[in-house]
Structure 1
């Protein structure tokens, strides 16, 4: 029964949920919107990078393995990681 209960608990665990909305930050023509995910008392780094390229509104959703002890730390880390990502790839972020 112990194994069955463990599997049941694992499968019935609620999906992680995004925390409150945070303001977007503009960086080199891109918009970074942090959207940390609350998980087991910590916050996973996640959010969106958006930019209008020509007439197309482009969007890249990301969820990182990084977790932080506070929501504010996760927001700060999201912004800094996105800035590095933008510096490295630019508009190639939106290529499939």
Structure 2
């Protein structure tokens, strides 16, 4: 069961793409949120990353949620909403 889940997360979508959509970005409180919904069994899985430039270093926190939605844009919007919550709750400790 876990093997099938990981395979669906990291395999291509079968339509000639690499299994990822175009990124949607948002700036929030000094952080860059990059929503990258992934196709998963006819749905779109909520995933992406949060970045912050600290000096010359870009810190990155990547996450994939179990949430899936039928629409790519809705999954991107949900990722941005969740990322904002994480930033509000954890701030820069996201990168620890």
TM bin (shorter chain): 0.7 to 0.9
Report the counterpart of residue 61 of structure 1 in structure 2: 62
Map 1:1-96 to 2 at 5 A. Answer: 15=11, 17-19=19-21, 21-95=22-96
Contact 2:20/2:37, CA 8 A, preserved across alignment: yes
Secondary structure, counterpart of 1:51 in structure 2: strand
Secondary structure, counterpart of 2:24 in structure 1: coil
Unaligned runs of 5+ in 1: 1-9
Q: Partners in 2 of 1:42 and 1:71 — Cα distance?
A: 8
The superposition leaves residues 50-86 of structure 1 with CA deviations (integer Å, 9 ceiling, x where unpaired) of 0012332101111011110110110110000000000
Q: Partners in 2 of 1:89 and 1:23 — Cα distance?
A: 22
TM-score normalized with structure 1 length: 0.79
Secondary structure, counterpart of 1:18 in structure 2: coil
Report the counterpart of residue 5 of structure 1 in structure 2: none
- How well do the aligned residues superpose, as a CA RMSD in angstroms? 1.5
Q: Partners in 2 of 1:34 and 1:62 — Cα distance?
A: 10
TM-score normalized with structure 2 length: 0.79
Number of equivalenced pairs: 83
Report runs of 4+ in structure 1 exceeding 4 Å deviation. none
The superposition leaves residues 16-37 of structure 1 with CA deviations (integer Å, 9 ceiling, x where unpaired) of 5212x23310000000000000
Unaligned runs of 5+ in 2: 13-18
